[in-house]
Amino acid sequence: MTDLNRDALFIAGTWTKPATDAVLEVVSPHSEEVVARVPEGSTADIDAAVAAARKAFDEGPWPRMTPAERIDVVAALSMSYAARLEEMATVISTEMGSPISFSNLAQAPAAWMQIEAFLTIAREFPWEATRPGALGADVMVRHEPIGVVAAIPPWNVPQFTVLSKLVPALLAGCTVVVKPAPESPLDCYVLAEALLEAGVPEGVVSIVAAGREVGEHLVRHPGVDKVAFTGSTAAGRRIGAICGEHLKRCSLELGGKSAAIVLDDADLASTLEGLKFLGVMNSGQACVAQTRVLVSRDRHDAFAASLAEMIGGMKVGDPMDPATEIGPMVAQRQQERVEKYIALGQEEGAQLLTGGLGMPDGLTKGWYVRPTVFSGVDNRMRIAQEEIFGPVLSVIAYDDVADAIRIANDSEYGLAGTVWTADAEAGTEVARQIRTGTIGVNTYTMDMAAPFGGYKNSGVGREFGPEGLAQYTEAKAVYLSSPPME
């Protein structure tokens, strides 16, 4: 891999010297060694980026192009991005520890798939349509760009989450300032190169990696019209409060504590295989992870034992090893957080079936935790109510299907979920009763043609689909003629 060190920021579509000498050190979660140093953005850098985005929106060609013209530029971005998928996957695994198998499956390709999906949606989107008015006159409804967008992705799936904001914003005619997380600034340098190659006009996109205080400066900035954020519920509440104070548009994709409901007729082998991915995908660092496994009381013990045997046998280690299934946590603080929850589960009286505290076998360094399965979990326990963001699963017994639905809904979150059954019709009926933004029957996938987002504390607004594109527009009504006077 090429040298990952950088000495410039991507502001207004050009490589720009940062306002200060502050540096972000990117530390490998596997080796605990510094793998790159890049500029740490300051409030002055944010001010420059917003000023450029404001000028490009207020005076530049981008929002005044036709949708077809913007689609052509984003299509060029898709081609440029596709050529960098292998590089992108390697960079993400290097900076935040995602297993390379997952990066090659989801971190890079699934991010690129969003570009293609949004291009299809944009070609069919009703940018301007006329409808009959209630008073007799026709009304034109226009979807116009919302303005300058602050896009703030997290570190766990950095490109997947940044493109879910950047691409629809660009197609809508917005200009964008991206603030990557300080743990994962490197992948956006690859993105910037793709943007340059695609010919995105000057000023339309800036990328400034920085920490929380500089991020709040961006959120509060009077030149920003909308904030699009993915991250923790606590940070989302803070951003939502600031946006509410300034009547600023915002969309928030936040945490989850999703339930996988295993009905009694579910096939054991296929259900376990599904949960192997959905329960601990990205080493458990995924907001949609199915970390509460609901099983009938009669099947609880046998199913929990099989699940523990499978999870306990997963390969933990070097994220660059194609055989690795569980990589490290992104940072030492995250490792410590997950281990505190493992200890808490034992204190709360849950039965530890596999995993537990201490480094996985064969590893002496890196921010690793043991893949862990608890059984006999009461849904009121903190390990069942709070988002852990690590490879920790809780098996919870239910009495009947109505009880399973009650337990699944007994959560402050409502982001994802699954139902496992041999009867797809019955599974769909259960899915209808779960208060969550997305749910699958014998499967789960984030389909970019469908809206993605959460109920309750899992967020506000939707990403993907026409609904996600509409989040970056303002709807304007144009009255075309006057109704006849009586």
Are 408 and 259 contacting, i.e. CB atoms less than 8 angstroms apart? yes
H helices of 104-220, in order, are 109-124, 158-172, 187-198, 212-220
| Residue in 462, 367, 458 with CA at minimum distance from that of residue 413 | 458
- Exposure string of 276-312, with b = 16+ CB inside 10 Å and e = fewer, is bebbbbbbbbbbbbbbbbbbbeebbbebbeebbebbe
Q: How far is CA 293 from CA 1, 141, 240, 296, 353, in A?
A: 40, 45, 31, 10, 14
**Phi first, then psi: what are they for 141, rounded to 5°?**
-110, 120
Integer Cα distance of 193 and 174 in angstroms: 20
Catalytic residue among 287, 325, 387, 463: 287
User: DSSP for 233-272?
Assistant: HHHHHHHHHHHHHTT-EEEEE-----EEEE-TTS-HHHHH
| Residue in 346, 350, 348 with CA at minimum distance from that of residue 358 | 346
Tokens 């014998």 found at = 442
Tokens 């209630």 found at = 134
To the query of whether residue 250 is one of the catalytic residues in this protein, the response is no
14 CB-side CA count, 13 A: 7
Residues in the chain: 486
To the query of whether residue 188 is one of the catalytic residues in this protein, the response is no
Catalytic residue among 95, 253, 325, 387: 253
User: DSSP for 434-465?
Assistant: S-SS--EES-----TTS-B--EETTEES-BSH
Residue 78, beta-bridge partner list:
none
H helices of 281-380, in order, are 300-312, 332-348
Q: How far is CA 321 from CA 90, 318, 324, 325, in A?
A: 11, 6, 5, 9
Integer Cα distance of 157 and 289 in angstroms: 13
Instruction: Quote the tokens at residue 349.
Output: 């009286």
Instruction: Quote the tokens at residue 188.
Output: 């956006």
Integer Cα distance of 319 and 194 in angstroms: 25
Instruction: Quote the tokens at residue 371.
Output: 């893949």
Are 153 and 124 contacting, i.e. CB atoms less than 8 angstroms apart? no
Residues with a catalytic annotation lie at 253, 287
